[in-house]
Structure 1
């Protein structure tokens, strides 16, 4: 007896028909968002209502409406008024590489389950290493996100700088890493996953510009070492997530060399600036790092989720994990770059290298220079608008495309806490309104509105209108509070 359901699932004609309709729908989505034919960046709904909608849709919705409903009920990163999280408005061509990856489903744990993507990944990571300024002994690989990449880098650091075999024998002493207090939370998370505990995360205070205060490095190192903590690594942010501030990588590199520490750079957001002729200087010293993380899905126009982890010495890319699976791997000392499972947490991973390769092949490295430079320039333009407006305070001058600011009425005696509450309320109203999408953060107790200018269609005019909208919204909020 034939299994007609499976035949239907794998019917090529059926797939082609649905695929053609979907591509047409996505083309319309791009037109409607990038050209602002659709006013909304986000159609906000509270979680419980959204849950009920999709539960009901599974039971009674029309299957032909599925893609339309997804587009209607998600955040439109391609809209010029998307100024929220650090997620790219992906280049449309990478949706096609994502489709190819999903359909072919080559898991890449071993070479024969990912011949083309394994070789493509080697091409891509070699080019990234060269762009950073690494020498001929460098190598890297792609993995699923900055959090996983930073954890892997710190495991590599532990293996390289701690004599005791922690991986196989467990801890015999207290270990620690040094990192700025403004670093991304994934560094804390990685350290705790590794079993370092809170005491093993040595937080260096940030200076007035929210970058690591390098004058404190020796003091904190000596203090924690005297407590019996063996510090094996130091992490520099390029930049930090909340403010976009860059740590002084060259100074951190010098300190790491003096103390024989592994120097890791979390460049998940801003590492792509190695391609920017104008802003490459923000990363001075990155070429001295033992390892570097760069996300493709942030400032390199790719879909989530793909991250490069790059090593100055290729042996560190290969030998972090010593676990053996006889049916997959062997313990060869050769540089088996083509066996992904020996290098990453993932045994199975997507063919994410296709995204990087197709952008390089179709548009060349200059696409990353153009995009990063444009967005960083735009943040400086926005900062000027904020400075010139009587109702806004700028947290710090932007060094990337991240900018924090807050609304302050010109005729108010409001306390700091009242201003915090006002800005939080304004942001919630903007979220519910849906024309713009921006986020928020707290810096040293002060509540700020936060933008990350990720969209290549966002212009100065959109940002000026955003400030006007915030003022109008704040006036409505104030009236509601006082009524």
Structure 2
């Protein structure tokens, strides 16, 4: 019988396979920079995709992973294609393919120092760099966790811990806690609040203006109405930026309101907070230095692979108290603040060292790369919005503040039906991958320009294609009924 363990850990086979997969990925990368090189998406229905992989799973064992990797690539979205304009997911740097390999090989978790010696140290350095960029002060700290949803939940738990001892004593039915947030806030805020037991009545949604920013002039009345209803507001959240339209809330006004009422000020900057690296766009974050906590995703605008999110705290103690509990087999002194044992401050125990991606980017390219990426993508969004406004038949939802543009093709009473059909056909054809959203209750097409190799010519082609499809559909008698 063959010694499979010996073959599975064979260094020569690993080296040869590694060279081949890098060659494969490099070939894909070269093709992807041209929109005609390969499709952005090769769409199959869920049933067809499942059947494909069922058939693959039932075949004889593979001698080499090469074909498997090719099949995965061919059945996945190609984020490196200029026609990828869909979700807020980074086009990861090739460098991070290498850091991912090192991470997987080392497999050093970060909960305790001995298992994550390098990881915990470089995490502290990156966090310190970020808190400095935001001007949070010398007492600031933070952690890295797996995604914006966990990041926002971590920050909200810290906010609650600043006014309540529910972590130790359990929920108090007589204490009705609540948060205030923009009506345009990401669903992860709503989810976090519900996980915390606040319920839908504990989420006070502040209306937005015509630019989809929180109406800060309405904060006081929303606050007083909540207090009159017996709620205790313990946190207010600013969006930087909103997911649907890319709107940045007025953080300075929110900070002033939070200070006036002595409540926690949190910024959900998962997508837009890296604008802090751009001299041209960091004004969008004016007031962030007054935040008690900030979340930003490395896997959105900072070109790292998923999932990796920084949670920044203005005061170290807030990070330390959030998950305080005994785990003597891991930590000798649970109450002492130990930055090098990051498991004390996150949900994860076996926390992956995803910080290596961002540290390597910073060491290799510096902040200038982030500046160029932000300026490029935000600039493309403004150019695209201008194209939409000046193109006959198209309608822009709002002027973009970030790299998100919402628009549609106007077709009278058939506008919604035709735009939905256009979206389906675009995805089926595969050259472009965009998504949709609801703006003021209306269906709009939505692009997130994440790829710095997308050009204004590519975006012009997208509008050409949408108009071609829309005009064709408009003549379809089935859509008239």
State the TM-score bracket (shorter-chain normalisation). Answer: over 0.9
* C-alpha distance in structure 2 between counterparts of 1:242 and 1:181, whole Å: 11
Shift of 1:324: 1.2
Shift of 1:349: 1.4
Within the candidate set 389, 401, 404, 2:391 is matched to 389
Counterpart secondary structure, 1:223: helix
Counterpart secondary structure, 2:58: helix
Shift of 1:178: 0.3
Within the candidate set 444, 452, 461, 1:448 is matched to 444
Shift of 1:134: 1.4
The answer to whether residue 169 in structure 2 is matched with residue 169 in structure 1 is yes
1:81-140: CA deviations, max 9, x gaps? 111110011110011101111111111110000000110101111000001111111111
1:362-421: CA deviations, max 9, x gaps? 111111111001110111000110010011000000000000000014xxxx32xx3111
Give yes or no for contact 2:142–2:312 (8 Å, CA) kept in 1.
yes
Which residue is 1:48 aligned to? 47
* C-alpha distance in structure 2 between counterparts of 1:89 and 1:481, whole Å: 41
Shift of 1:317: 1.4
Within the candidate set 430, 433, 441, 1:437 is matched to 433
Gaps of 5+ in 2: none
Counterpart secondary structure, 1:15: helix
Shift of 1:330: 3.4
Which residue is 1:19 aligned to? 18
Which residue is 1:149 aligned to? 151
Which residue is 2:233 aligned to? 231
Q: How do residues 84-95 of structure 1 correspond to structure 2 at under 5 angstroms?
A: 84-95=86-97
1:438-481: CA deviations, max 9, x gaps? 11001111110000100010111011110000000112222334
Shift of 1:75: 0.5
The answer to whether residue 468 in structure 2 is matched with residue 472 in structure 1 is yes
Counterpart secondary structure, 1:378: helix
Give yes or no for contact 2:181–2:237 (8 Å, CA) kept in 1.
yes
Give yes or no for contact 2:136–2:291 (8 Å, CA) kept in 1.
no
Which residue is 2:191 aligned to? 189
Which residue is 1:420 aligned to? 416
* C-alpha distance in structure 2 between counterparts of 1:384 and 1:39, whole Å: 28
* C-alpha distance in structure 2 between counterparts of 1:121 and 1:3, whole Å: 43
Pair 1:3–1:333, CA change in 2 (3 A): farther
1:300-348: CA deviations, max 9, x gaps? 0111110000011111112101121110023454330010110000001
Aligned residues: 474
Give yes or no for contact 1:324–1:330 (8 Å, CA) kept in 2.
no
TM-score (norm 1): 0.96
The answer to whether residue 217 in structure 2 is matched with residue 215 in structure 1 is yes
TM-score (norm 2): 0.97
Aligned-residue RMSD, C-alpha: 1.3
Give yes or no for contact 1:31–1:37 (8 Å, CA) kept in 2.
no
* C-alpha distance in structure 2 between counterparts of 1:64 and 1:198, whole Å: 49
Within the candidate set 448, 454, 457, 1:461 is matched to 457
* C-alpha distance in structure 2 between counterparts of 1:205 and 1:380, whole Å: 25
Counterpart secondary structure, 1:299: coil
* C-alpha distance in structure 2 between counterparts of 1:131 and 1:154, whole Å: 22
Gaps of 5+ in 1: none
